[in-house]
Structure 1
Amino acid sequence: MAEIEESASPTLMRRQLGRFLREAREGRGLSIANAAKEVQLSFNALQRLETGRTVNPRRQDVRELCSLYEVDAEETEKAVGLASRAAAAKDEGGVTSLGGLFSDAFNMYIGMERAARRLLSYQELVPGLLQTPAYARAMIRAFYVNGTEDEIERRVQVRLDRQVIVTRRTRPLELEILLHESAAHRVIGGPDVMATQLRQLAEVSKLPNVTLRVHPFSAGSIWGLPAVPFVLLDFGTDSRGMPVEPPVVYLDGAMSSDLYIEKREVVERYHDFAEAIRRTALDETRSRDLLRQAARRFDSER
């Protein structure tokens, strides 16, 4: 489990704890009912704990669940500590600032990404979930200029491992990408890398769970604002139609702090902004055509 900075909101910490416990339970093949019975909790109590709705998670409950799930001692202590901090923390208004790229905070994002049912992303570079190994390597090497080859390759593998949620057979992620046209022209890694990447984008956009639309230069500015890349994560609903977890907006902080936005009105505002981008984006067929045309142009530059 990734460690979380002291400034994290209690809701974010409770959700991280709940996600960790849910994944540990599922890894042991236990139902909520069976796990709850083993540690003498009610079904509803364990369900609230796993969905981050327990305001004051009890350390002893967390410790007993970790023992049941055969979680190792180090991870157990992290989970118990997280329960303590979540119970003691104050809500600072639904916006949390954490770490930076590939820090423990970014690992939190990977956990959210893995748990999401739907993900909507506006980007001006090819998003990590759809990057080829060569494109990912060029991006990571450019950022970690002093990184060793082993470190770079480890980070590339982390990025590639994330992509399984898009192509898995069981409940693949519903992925919507709104990609600014600049991503098809900004050279990352050279013409060979770009040609391969753009063709892969065109192909993966045919998957039934993937929607990719290009936002062209000709669309101009949305709402008179410079569009900052963002990700909207939706975690779906349970059997009663209730949200498994509230949706979150994620803003990659790159060299500074990542932002996690939980305030409902702000999340809705981002949904409205995404809809405004959709209205001026190319349709899926024209988007694929643009990507393939750009790939051919890079072919000619080899």
Structure 2
Amino acid sequence: MPCCIAFIQFQQCQHSTLFKIACTAGCKDLCPLPAQQVLVITHYLWLCEDCHERIGNQDLDDRCNKWADILFEIPETLPLEIRQQLKASAEAQENFEDEICEKTRTMRIEEIQWVAEWTFEYALMLYEVLHKHAWEPQDALARIQKLRGLRLWDLIVVRDVSRKAEELFNEQYNKVYWTIVAQFAEQRKQRQRMRRDRPPATPKPLPPTFAEWNKEHESDWSEDSSKTCYDGDMTLHQDEEDDSIPVTEQRAATPSPPPDEQQTAETSGLAPEEPEPMDVDED
């Protein structure tokens, strides 16, 4: 029993949308590829909804920047009343342009959603006729003919399980449609050639690691260390620019021995002898 699906492909951006119509085996997601049956594939001439929204937002930003520049370029030397009139006129034109662009964007989004819904509804009708047998033959044929009559000129059915490819081509042949499709294909080829002929970007050097950085600066550290002198508890730095300036060395003072060592030296005979008493004549 097949898992029935349908596709719609957008020719301008080459994006596609998959619809799961129903599964006769009751799967939650999708059955394996051999168990799938594609009921309908349609091609829509223009962009998908996401691409159209992205381009619409970019156009909106460009318009905002354009009118902001126009307001900024109003000379400050003009009288206040004239500047206010120019500002009001620019804002009115901006609002009018935004309103027209918003209407166009809304109409295009609604059309994109409509062709997607048409693809789903047509595939669902085929599923109910072929697998569920929920329609009487005459009612099903009338319903299918009605859906086919609602199809827009820029929506082409390229696969239909109820019709052959030759029949689809003869019933839906539109010279304008296929001319635009050929133009889109040529534009894609040109973009591919430009990307292929583009010179490769020069790779940027990677930042040095800590080991390489230490190795490169090892000589600098050795030179700095050779210019540093240690004398006792005092460090003297001598720069190359200060060679002419004499540097006075300061030596640490010799500490006096502690009292215990001094007493030991006296007992060991190293202490100085006491002077002899002088003779005094007695009267």
What is the TM-score normalised by the length of structure 1? Answer: 0.19
What is the TM-score normalised by the length of structure 2? Answer: 0.20
Larger radius of gyration: 2
